[in-house]
Amino acid sequence: MLFSALLLLSALAQPTPPATARPAAAEVRHYAIDVAGIRVGTMTATRQAAAGTDVTYSLVSDVKVNFLIYRLKIYYQVTNRFRNGQLMLSTVEAHTNQGDFSSRAEWKGDHYDIVAKQYKHEYKAIEKQPIRYTVTNMFFAEPPPGQTRAYAEYFGDYFALSRNKAGNWRALRDGREDEYQYTNGQLVTIIKKNPLRNFIIRLLPE
């Protein structure tokens, strides 16, 4: 459970485009990951708008834990590409001390092919409903009212969402519970609950 709790781009020699053609500046959020009050890693969430309606989200997590005889190392990167508000491609690459793993969801015109091969978790499915909201979206704004689920890129299926109180959301999946805390619409803390130790992901000041 402790291991699985954290299993979460150049134009050289080209003329400078006119100001109206430049992509919008990327939105970046930096977080620290703590266990038992000790910083064990970092997480960086990025949102980059491209031409037209294309938007790319990425989430990079780098964790190293050393507790007596317990060793844990996880690096993973999520990349989501949206068009017109719909997820077109999601990839997850995970590199750990237990091996390398991946997940992928790709829109094929009328369905998604979903394959997740992660640590102690394998899942394969066809999803016909367009995916418009993912876990990574939650890093950039509080879920809209009535949002009842978020696509979990790592697992290839969904977290059920519920709002406990103002600025506080609960995400549940297969016995796993995460708590998302927002202040003025900004994600400031995630509590990933675990029987051994909770992981606390907290926003760092800019």
Residue 18's pLDDT band (cuts 50, 70, 90): very low
Q: Whose CA is closest to 135, among 171, 186, 86, 162?
A: 171
Predicted confidence (pLDDT) at residue 6 exceeds the cutoff of 50: no
Give the pLDDT confidence score for residue 68 in this predicted structure.
66
Which has more confidence, 1 or 190?
190
Give me the residue label for tokens 């990025």: 46
Give the pLDDT confidence score for residue 15 in this predicted structure.
39
Rg of the chain over Cα atoms, rounded to whole angstroms, equals: 18
Residue 23's pLDDT band (cuts 50, 70, 90): low
Give the pLDDT confidence score for residue 49 in this predicted structure.
94
pTM score, whole prediction: 0.86
Tens digit of each residue's pLDDT (9 = 90 or more) over 58-115? 999 999 987 766 778 999 999 999 999 999 999 999 999 999 999 999 999 999 999 9
How far apart, in whole angstroms, are the C-alpha atoms of residue 162 and residue 168?
A: 9
Tens digit of each residue's pLDDT (9 = 90 or more) over 24-63? 789 999 999 999 899 999 999 999 998 789 999 999 999 9
CB contact burial 88-105 (16+ within 10 A = b; e otherwise): bebbbebebeeeebebbb
Give the pLDDT confidence score for residue 28 in this predicted structure.
97
Q: Whose CA is closest to 117, among 137, 135, 99?
A: 99
Whether residue 103 contacts residue 153, with contact meaning beta carbons closer than 8 Å, is answered with yes
Tens digit of each residue's pLDDT (9 = 90 or more) over 107-162? 999 999 999 999 999 999 999 999 999 999 999 999 998 999 999 999 999 999 99
Give the pLDDT confidence score for residue 13 in this predicted structure.
36
Give the pLDDT confidence score for residue 51 in this predicted structure.
79
Query: Rounded mean pLDDT of 8-37?
Result: 65
